[in-house]
């Protein structure tokens, strides 16, 4: 068996396993050797599930030997973000607060992946409780960008993006509250899609901000993203917010051309805030669409300038409420020196939550407090509605909106960690998609002169993932260059 299966796409691996070209066990062994080889430098994995992976692969091979039909992700190696509940291993959210927590159940997406015959390699790193844009906030370890080990992989799904980029899994699940799938996908040179809010069940996802969170895949190709969505999307009776809509065959949408497609460029996204290397690569990508018959139109999203402020009021308010449950009573860290109830709450949370999590809890508690609710939280919700209205108006003029995923390429460790506001601005182009409950995808569109990946973001109307994937896939197949592999290869 060749030793490069870890660079193959999920679609290629699944097809090979289902046709008997290679066994799921051989794929798994090659993948585990790859992790042994490079993860000491990347540090994407927080938990290695070697025995579980081998057992899952053996189960797939046994099904094949009996002549049973295999699932669409047969033998495909998958990494899971640390905030997805699993009965195997721990669910820590990369926080000291949950460092020993073991979930009694599997998240819905985890069960659906297992039913599709995927193989779980373990869990991957993230910013603590998904709060961050660089994975520097993890209480477990620092994950590095495979394209430059001095640079961050993005966040909060930095471990997910780095693992896919470095060949340490074919698919990784992440979560996206304000860009936490798309921004690390951009910085690590892979594909990352945030589905429409409600398209994927959130049951078993440890909540950060419940009206914004959404689970999605990070992959090497758009086809792999579509294949994964086929498996994880759909109504779930365990999640009242999951949409009761049929799941289309997303892979079947990856056909045709873009002639006549109207692609909108928001004038607010192409300002001095966008670095020149990012602007150049995005414009080249847009030119590729234009050359293939797409119509490029200018649109306006005038309330975009308020998105950061609105997001950091709403998400912190919801985080304050969601993280109140981690009190050391039923589960979570309890400070051993606490003598009273007040001591237990204050000392446990102060010791177990990191600085960024404490910052957001305090901000969220403040904006929800008596006398400030109307001035901050209620007003933010009203502006959120205006942001959604901007997108509705823009989509009257276009079918898909294109723009940058991130204002800059990856940056070195420590470059923004001492300046929270500058770090928050890393998500300036992704946040609005969550506020407006839209689907969004980041796809690689080149490298900077320094050899760091650039990502283009595409956005569509709610539940138009098929159009989004078709548009992204067309560019991927017609961009005229290969992204290559990171130096870690």
What's the pLDDT at 331?
85
Angle of helix 10-19 versus helix 24-42 axis, rounded to 10: 150
**Which H or E run contains 184?**
helix 182-188
How many Cα atoms within 13 Å fall on the side-chain side of residue 162?
Answer: 36
What's the pLDDT at 3?
54
CA angle at residue 55 from 53 to 61, to 5 degrees? 105
Query: Active-site residue numbers?
Result: 81, 156, 180
**Which H or E run contains 149?**
none
Which residues does 291 contact at the CB level (< 8 Å), separation at least 6? Answer: none
| Residue entry with tokens 């981690």 | 326
Going along the chain from its start, the domains and CATH numbers come out as 5-256+440-478 (3.90.1300.10)
Beta bridge partners of 48: 122
Angle of helix 307-322 versus helix 379-394 axis, rounded to 10: 130
Contact of 439 with 468, CB cutoff 8 Å: yes
Q: What are the pLDDT digits (tens) for 26-72?
A: 999 999 999 999 999 999 999 999 999 999 999 999 999 999 999 99
| Residue entry with tokens 């009996």 | 66
Closest by alpha carbon to 197, among 388, 480, 406, 396? 388
DSSP 8-state code for residue 461: S
In order along its 489 residues, the chain shows pLDDT tens digits of 445 899 999 999 999 999 999 999 999 999 999 999 999 999 999 999 999 999 999 999 999 999 999 999 999 999 999 999 999 999 999 999 999 999 999 999 999 999 999 999 999 999 999 999 999 999 999 999 999 999 999 999 999 999 999 999 999 999 999 999 999 999 999 999 999 999 999 999 999 999 999 999 999 999 999 999 999 999 999 999 999 999 999 999 999 999 999 999 999 999 999 999 999 999 999 999 999 999 999 999 999 999 999 999 999 999 999 999 998 888 899 999 999 999 999 999 999 999 999 999 999 999 999 889 999 999 999 999 999 999 999 999 999 999 999 999 999 999 998 888 899 999 999 999 999 999 999 999 999 999 999 999 999 999 999 999 999 999 999 999 999 999 986
Angle of helix 465-478 versus helix 222-232 axis, rounded to 10: 160
CA distance 99 to 307: 33
DSSP 8-state code for residue 343: H
Cα of 178 vs its chain's centroid, Å:
10
CA distance 378 to 390: 19
What's the pLDDT at 7?
96
Strand order in the sheet with 453-459: 45-48, 119-124, 77-81, 171-175, 215-219, 191-194, 440-447, 453-459, 400-404, 262-266, 295-299
CA distance 292 to 398: 17
- Measure CA of the first residue to CA of the last residue in the chain; give whole Å: 19
Q: For 154, left (φ over 0), alpha (ψ -120 to 50), or beta?
A: left
Angle of helix 50-65 versus helix 10-19 axis, rounded to 10: 40
CA distance 76 to 85: 20
């Amino acid at each position: 068996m060749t030793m490069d299966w870890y660079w193959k796409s999920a679609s290629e691996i699944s097809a090979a396993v289902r046709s008997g070209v290679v066994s799921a066990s051989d794929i798994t062994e090659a993948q585990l050797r790859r992790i042994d080889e490079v993860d000491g430098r990347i540090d994407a994995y927080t938990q290695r599930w070697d025995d579980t992976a081998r057992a899952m692969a053996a189960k797939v091979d046994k099904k094949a030997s009996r002549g049973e039909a295999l699932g669409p992700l047969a033998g495909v190696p998958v990494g899971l973000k640390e905030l997805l509940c699993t009965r195997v291993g721990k669910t820590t959210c990369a926080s000291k607060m949950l460092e020993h927590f073991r979930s009694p159940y599997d998240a819905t997406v985890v069960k659906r992946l297992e039913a599709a015959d995927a193989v779980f390699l373990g869990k991957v790193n993230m910013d603590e409780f998904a709060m961050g844009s660089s994975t520097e906030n993890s209480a477990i370890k620092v994950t590095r960008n495979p394209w430059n080990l001095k640079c961050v992989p993005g966040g909060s799904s930095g471990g997910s993006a780095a693992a896919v980029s470095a060949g340490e899994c074919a698919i990784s699940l992440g979560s996206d509250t304000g860009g936490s799938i798309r921004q690390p996908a951009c910085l690590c040179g892979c594909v990352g899609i945030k589905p429409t809010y409600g398209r994927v069940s959130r049951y078993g996802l440890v909540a950060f901000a419940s009206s914004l969170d959404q689970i999605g895949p990070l992959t090497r190709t758009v086809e792999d993203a579509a294949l994964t969505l086929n498996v994880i999307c759909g109504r779930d009776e365990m999640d009242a917010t999951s949409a009761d809509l049929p799941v289309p065959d997303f892979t079947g949408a990856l056909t045709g051309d873009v002639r006549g497609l109207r692609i909108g460029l928001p004038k607010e996204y192409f300002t001095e805030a966008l670095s020149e290397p990012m602007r150049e690569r995005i414009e080249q990508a847009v030119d590729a669409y234009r050359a293939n018959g797409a119509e490029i139109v200018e649109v306006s999203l005038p309330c975009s300038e308020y998105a950061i402020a609105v997001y950091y009021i709403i998400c912190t308010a919801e985080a304050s409420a969601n993280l109140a449950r981690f009190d050391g009573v039923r589960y979570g860290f309890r400070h051993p020196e606490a003598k009273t109830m007040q001591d237990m709450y204050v000392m446990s949370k102060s010791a177990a939550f990191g600085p960024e999590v404490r910052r957001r809890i305090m901000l969220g508690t403040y904006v929800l407090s008596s006398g400030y609710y109307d001035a901050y939280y209620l007003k933010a919700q009203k502006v959120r509605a205006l942001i959604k209205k901007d997108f509705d108006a823009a989509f009257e003029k276009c079918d898909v909106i294109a723009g940058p995923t991130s204002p800059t390429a990856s940056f070195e460790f420590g470059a923004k960690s001492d300046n929270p506001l500058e770090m928050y601005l890393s998500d300036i182009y992704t946040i609005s998609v969550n506020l407006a409950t839209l689907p969004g995808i980041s796809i690689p569109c080149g490298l900077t002169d320094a050899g760091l990946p650039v990502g283009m973001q595409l956005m569509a109307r709610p539940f138009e993932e098929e159009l989004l994937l078709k548009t992204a896939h067309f560019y991927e197949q017609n961009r005229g260059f290969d992204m290559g592999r990171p130096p870690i290869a």
